[in-house]
Structure 1
Amino acid sequence: MDAAHIRNFSIIAHIDHGKTTLSDRLLHRTGTIATRDMEAQLLDSMDLERERGITIKAHPVTMTYAAKNGETYELNLIDTPGHVDFSYEVSRSLSACEGALLIIDAAQGVEAQTVANVHLAMKQNLTIIPVINKIDLPHANVAQAKVQLEDILAIPGDSAILASAKEGIGIEEILEAIVERIPAPKPTNAPSLQALGFDSFFDTYKGVVTHVRVFNGELKAGMTVKLLHSGKNVEVKEVGSFNPKPYIREKLLVGETGYFTANIKSPKDVKMGDTLTDSRNPSPALPGFKEIHPMVFSGIYPINTADYEHLKANLAKLQLNDSAFAFQAESSVALGFGFRCGFLGLLHLEIVQERLRREYNMDIIATYPSVVYRVTMTDGTVKEIDNPAFLPEANYIEKIEEPMVKAFIICPNEYIGDMMALVSEKRGNLDHTETLDSRRVMLTSLLPLNEILIDFHDRIKSITRGFGSMDYEHATYSQSNMVKLDMLVNGESVDAFSCIVHRDKAESRGRALAAKLKEVIPTQQYQVAIQGAIGGKIIARETVSAMRKDVTAKCYGGDISRKRKLLEKQKEGKKRMKSFGTVNIPQEAFIEVLKA
């Protein structure tokens, strides 16, 4: 189809504002999917996506729409994940579009991720069409949503389309607005083909299938194309589009969105955001490419050590459909052989673990998540440490820097004091506060990434009774007084429980771990000391008392010195036993502590 009749758009929204329901409605209204094939959350193909109501992988779809002006248009919807962990995937998808539908829940108004995604779209100079969704809800407040649009996002409230994706209200108006307001794609006037690869997945028969948007020239089977950032030359085997199932096309022209397959065996060869061009007459790369680096690391170990090879194969399969996930083999004295895995963020970590348990039936245990610390040595060299086991001795370290994030927290006015207390408890600094409307404020703060890893999001939800929302972006590295906390059981360090913590929090963390270990370590014939240590200094201690036989039971009456003699003899025996006894910590104990 000629470029004047093509519209490329994506849908951006906060989690649970009705993005997937709206895309289902658009597919149904344009006849892309017959009524009998219709099902809820059609583009979310994973069980996990349907269950949690989130989009994990982006899905492009091509629709044909006969507009009221009598013309037929090709509409390419590039669906994006809404969660902060996948923000690079969102920015890549947005750069393949000319416009975006911004969905706001009429009952909840503008939330933290709405703000972040709108800024992403504005950076890419996209035309934004605001849609106020869920107007059929009894507590919908359309007037307030319009005011928030103007005050928070500086988008005219009158330009918003009122809709209810569930009831099918306003769908026609949305389609007409896409045709009228979003500009048609224009060629970049580069010397040859220029196409953006914005996502990829692995197909058992075809190899890597790459999603592309053509900016200049044409892409067809038989061409030899060059991937500029990875430097590979490949021959295109097949091109096509999705509706939502893939179908083969002769070629993709300027402005069109689809996929291509070539002899590419691993998704690592196709970098996200890479530019495709003609290998004989290359065009310059499209702007905005960056490498994806994992931010959060965790060790994943099989509970049964015999499953190691099985886990390795399954992680490799997972990596085929998730180019941002990285792993490498490591071993631990306590947990045996396993893998050090890198993730974009916490949701990403949770999703990967959940997929391993469900899709591959793996029994796994994950160690405490850690971030990448930048360690400057006394000789001036800089090391990046993601595993506490590799942290050098304190006397060789000049300084340790930890990654910081800029967090945007939106909460009702009455909880502002509690939120500020939470931020300072997590070693954060409040940058500034903005009043969004009569009911809510937005707090912008700088926090260490390592502090928000575990329970920060849950704490925000519980403090604000579910009304708070949060979004974050990676900021800088900042120097901190970080130390390595070791847990010693009977004088021996257990590497699975080691962690890097701030010195101010090391004592409370050590005490909590020691108390938990005391509960789960079985009693021995002798006393077992559990200690938390920083370097050579013990900061916490618990003792598992020994099993004791009552050796004085046979003495009834008589001289006290006889009883004392028996007790001394028992004490000597315990001492001798302790000198060569080792404590076996059962697997269940590790699982209990790591869960806690």
Structure 2
Amino acid sequence: MTERQLTLRNFCIIAHIDHGKSTLADRFIQRAHIVDDREFHDQMLDTMDIERERGITIKSQTVNLPYEASDGTLYRFNLVDTPGHVDFSYEVSRAISACEGALLLVDATQGVEAQTLANMYMALEHNLEIIPVINKIDLPAADVEGVKEQIEHELGLPADEVVSISAKMGTGLDSLYEAIVGRIPPPSGDPKGPLKALVFDSHYDPYRGVVLYIRVFEGSVGRGDEMLLMSSGARYGVEEVGILRMRGLPVERLEAGDIGYLIAGVKTIRDVRVGDTITSAARPAAEAVPGFRAVKPVVYSSIFPVDSNDYEELGKALEKLVLNDASLVYEKTSSSALGFGYKCGFLGLLHLEVVQERLEREFGLSVVFTAPSVQYRVRLRNGEVVTIETPDEYPDPSRIEEVEEPYIKATIITPDEYVGPIMKLCMDKRGVQTSMIYLDSKRVELIYEMPLAEVLFDFYDKLKSISRGYASFDYEILGLRPTDVVKLDILVNGKPVDALSQLVFRGSAAVRARAICRKLKDEIPRHQFKIPIQGAVGSQIIARETIPALRKDVTAKCYGGDITRKRKLLERQKEGKKRMKMIGEVEVPQRAFLAALKAGEGEE
């Protein structure tokens, strides 16, 4: 092991949502003095506007920090800040694969929560050294001793290894630095061997092409080298390598153990994928670094440009977005109502919302999303099995033998006073309780098996409002189980609008249909004729709303005189409306599609 490797530490910060990861990263950056005080702001590593507005981390970010220990040794830390939300757990797995250690943050007022457990198991799978850290000890409600007991009892980590800090106030950071230096192992790997580097993230720069973020496991790479991307076989000359100090800082070479960036003028985006291995074209490595597990989308929705002329632009934007968000998958599709677009797979509804906002903000596109759906497996009467992700793929009900939908194992940790309302919510969402464990005198762990489709729309929001924000939620996919699903069609003026179709559980079809019809009634402007809005399952109408006709005042210019003059004008208007009814086309604004998507069962 070289001198350079001995003073290097690669670690990430993992935790449940709102336990203080980004705040702790801010303190590390401040103490390293790599940013001027006048440039410093909170959430330094949350570079996207949407992250700062929502107060959440969406993208993992890396920063290289110098640290001088008490004995005078100068260390280099590569710190990776990770998201906490369950929809971005794929980002966490990517960050973990580039590190040797992890700081597991636990809130001193909330204790161990659902995502804390999930992230710890992910770190253990990658054989990371875990340092348990209790944060927010400055708060009046902090229960440090109680949380230490939870860490020992629920996580199986020794209480005497816990480091107590306040990231906001900067308390206890010296102990944390010493723990990082003493307990996280330095990276191993032969700097003189064949190059083997893992691509754990990337983004597109309009001037320099694809910027790759890499972790070097073996060998070294520098300017002028010819590199080979092992999955695509593409070769490129390296133009620049460097470390990440908020901005890229060029260096001569990156050696085994280093985390940094690499620019090689890659313009063909398809050549690069996250999880790929970079090696030397002259002396290639024998095998690739084990990449990331293949990501499986759980929510499907189609994206269409508001202006059909933006279709090509939308395709290019999605291509660039996939560089930075490897969990997004997409393919071409079309709709009779909305034209050409792309069918996309997401890890959850928050992921879908973030992609929509990024397309609008970063690429200036106006887009419409269809109703989110999960993946169903349909067994037909002729023995054929088909997988469907969107309502327009749903076969004729007379041909269907059985439909299966994905189920999840939902883990909810909550204070005991909210158990009753949460159990009712889970039962309303077709959940079946499999376990209820009292973790201590005040906290309960509930485990339910429920359909993923029921969690999509408003489950998380309702859970947070019922528990006043104290309940935490995590889930994992169990597999497919039989269900009774129907295709809900929405008819506007007697014509089905394919972009508003949804696959729903038969028992909740009428409720969902009424909610959508009401939303559309509010959003579609009145026309010169009456417009019926209907929800239908097959040929059966299960919900209806009517938009009344907009009546023009045809008698405005009729002053005084015989009443028959006015009557004649009104009769003529009525005849005109009848003809218009026969040939009238309804104009549905884009906001009506968005409103219909947000019409959940909670509005009933």
Counterparts of residues 264-279 of structure 1 (less than 5 Å): 264-279=266-281
Tell me whether 6-15 or 182-191 shows the greater mean CA deviation.
Answer: 182-191
Aligned partner of 1:91 among 90, 93, 108: 93
Aligned to 1:509: 512
Aligned to 2:264: 262
Aligned to 2:425: 422
Aligned to 2:10: 8
CA displacement 1:535-573 (0-9 Å, x = unmatched): 2233334455668999xxx999xxxxxx9xxx9999999
CA separation of 1:400/1:75 partners in 2, compared to 1, >3 Å: closer, same or farther?
same
Q: Is 1:343 aligned to 2:346, yes or no?
A: yes
Aligned to 2:496: 493
Aligned to 1:559: none
Aligned to 2:449: 446
CA displacement 1:75-97 (0-9 Å, x = unmatched): 11122222222212211211211
CA separation of 1:592/1:81 partners in 2, compared to 1, >3 Å: closer, same or farther?
closer
Q: How many residues align?
A: 587
3-state SS, counterpart of residue 370 of structure 1: coil
Counterparts of residues 388-427 of structure 1 (less than 5 Å): 388-427=391-430
Q: Is the contact made by 1:65 and 1:75 (CA closer than 8 Å) also made in structure 2?
A: yes
Q: Distance in 1 between matches of 2:583 and 2:49?
A: 52
CA separation of 1:530/1:27 partners in 2, compared to 1, >3 Å: closer, same or farther?
closer
Aligned to 1:203: 205
Aligned partner of 2:379 among 352, 376, 381: 376
3-state SS, counterpart of residue 433 of structure 1: strand
3-state SS, counterpart of residue 430 of structure 1: strand
Counterparts of residues 559-574 of structure 1 (less than 5 Å): none
Q: Is 1:295 aligned to 2:298, yes or no?
A: yes
3-state SS, counterpart of residue 170 of structure 2: coil
Query: How far 1:460 sits from its partner (Å)?
Result: 0.4
Q: Is the contact made by 1:277 and 1:283 (CA closer than 8 Å) also made in structure 2?
A: no
| One-letter amino acid of the counterpart of residue 532, structure 1 | G
Query: How far 1:360 sits from its partner (Å)?
Result: 4.6
Q: Distance in 1 between matches of 2:128 and 2:6?
A: 17
Q: Is the contact made by 2:67 and 2:75 (CA closer than 8 Å) also made in structure 1?
A: yes
Aligned partner of 2:72 among 70, 73, 89: 70
Q: Is 1:356 aligned to 2:356, yes or no?
A: no
Query: How far 1:46 sits from its partner (Å)?
Result: 1.5
Tell me whether 365-374 or 169-178 shows the greater mean CA deviation.
Answer: 365-374
CA separation of 1:485/1:2 partners in 2, compared to 1, >3 Å: closer, same or farther?
same
Q: Distance in 1 between matches of 2:327 and 2:275?
A: 12
- Percent identity over the alignment is 51
Q: Distance in 2 between matches of 1:320 and 1:420?
A: 41
3-state SS, counterpart of residue 239 of structure 2: strand
Aligned to 1:130: 132
Query: How far 1:342 sits from its partner (Å)?
Result: 3.0
Counterparts of residues 38-53 of structure 1 (less than 5 Å): 38-53=40-55
Counterparts of residues 36-185 of structure 1 (less than 5 Å): 36-185=38-187
Q: Distance in 2 between matches of 1:85 and 1:486?
A: 29
Aligned to 2:218: 216
CA displacement 1:470-516 (0-9 Å, x = unmatched): 12233323332211111223432121221111111112222333344
CA separation of 1:548/1:270 partners in 2, compared to 1, >3 Å: closer, same or farther?
closer
Aligned to 2:228: 226
Tell me whether 218-227 or 46-55 shows the greater mean CA deviation.
Answer: 218-227
Q: Is the contact made by 1:5 and 1:73 (CA closer than 8 Å) also made in structure 2?
A: yes
3-state SS, counterpart of residue 21 of structure 1: helix
Q: Is 1:456 aligned to 2:459, yes or no?
A: yes
Query: How far 1:315 sits from its partner (Å)?
Result: 4.5
Q: Is 1:31 aligned to 2:33, yes or no?
A: yes
Query: TM-score, with normalisation over the residues of structure 2?
Result: 0.87
CA separation of 1:577/1:249 partners in 2, compared to 1, >3 Å: closer, same or farther?
closer
Q: Distance in 1 between matches of 2:42 and 2:573?
A: 71
| One-letter amino acid of the counterpart of residue 335, structure 2 | S
CA separation of 1:51/1:521 partners in 2, compared to 1, >3 Å: closer, same or farther?
closer
Q: Distance in 1 between matches of 2:312 and 2:389?
A: 24
3-state SS, counterpart of residue 371 of structure 1: coil
In the alignment, structure 2 segments of 5+ residues that lack a partner are 554-560, 600-604
Q: Distance in 1 between matches of 2:592 and 2:212?
A: 45
CA displacement 1:32-58 (0-9 Å, x = unmatched): 334454332211112221222221221
Aligned partner of 1:533 among 522, 533, 536: 536
Q: Is the contact made by 2:190 and 2:219 (CA closer than 8 Å) also made in structure 1?
A: no
Q: Distance in 1 between matches of 2:157 and 2:118?
A: 14
CA separation of 1:266/1:113 partners in 2, compared to 1, >3 Å: closer, same or farther?
farther
Query: How far 1:64 sits from its partner (Å)?
Result: 2.0
In the alignment, structure 1 segments of 5+ residues that lack a partner are 557-562
Q: Is the contact made by 1:485 and 1:533 (CA closer than 8 Å) also made in structure 2?
A: yes
Tell me whether 466-475 or 286-295 shows the greater mean CA deviation.
Answer: 286-295
Q: Distance in 2 between matches of 1:170 and 1:149?
A: 18
Q: Distance in 2 between matches of 1:236 and 1:109?
A: 47
Q: Is 1:471 aligned to 2:469, yes or no?
A: no
Q: Is the contact made by 2:203 and 2:320 (CA closer than 8 Å) also made in structure 1?
A: no
Query: How far 1:258 sits from its partner (Å)?
Result: 1.0
Q: Distance in 1 between matches of 2:480 and 2:101?
A: 34
| One-letter amino acid of the counterpart of residue 143, structure 2 | N
Q: Distance in 2 between matches of 1:509 and 1:214?
A: 51
Query: How far 1:463 sits from its partner (Å)?
Result: 0.9
| One-letter amino acid of the counterpart of residue 169, structure 2 | E
Q: Is 1:281 aligned to 2:292, yes or no?
A: no
Query: How far 1:312 sits from its partner (Å)?
Result: 5.2
Q: In angstroms, what is the RMSD of aligned CA positions? A: 3.3
CA displacement 1:296-319 (0-9 Å, x = unmatched): 222334445566566555555544
CA separation of 1:409/1:318 partners in 2, compared to 1, >3 Å: closer, same or farther?
same
Q: Is the contact made by 1:193 and 1:283 (CA closer than 8 Å) also made in structure 2?
A: no
Query: How far 1:170 sits from its partner (Å)?
Result: 1.1
Q: Distance in 1 between matches of 2:418 and 2:95?
A: 35
Q: Distance in 2 between matches of 1:44 and 1:397?
A: 48
Aligned to 1:235: 237
Tell me whether 228-237 or 248-257 shows the greater mean CA deviation.
Answer: 228-237
CA separation of 1:258/1:544 partners in 2, compared to 1, >3 Å: closer, same or farther?
closer
Q: Distance in 2 between matches of 1:35 and 1:492?
A: 61
CA separation of 1:199/1:389 partners in 2, compared to 1, >3 Å: closer, same or farther?
same
Q: Distance in 1 between matches of 2:484 and 2:191?
A: 53
Q: Distance in 2 between matches of 1:204 and 1:371?
A: 35
Q: Is the contact made by 2:371 and 2:501 (CA closer than 8 Å) also made in structure 1?
A: no
Q: Distance in 1 between matches of 2:77 and 2:183?
A: 13
Tell me whether 471-480 or 511-520 shows the greater mean CA deviation.
Answer: 511-520
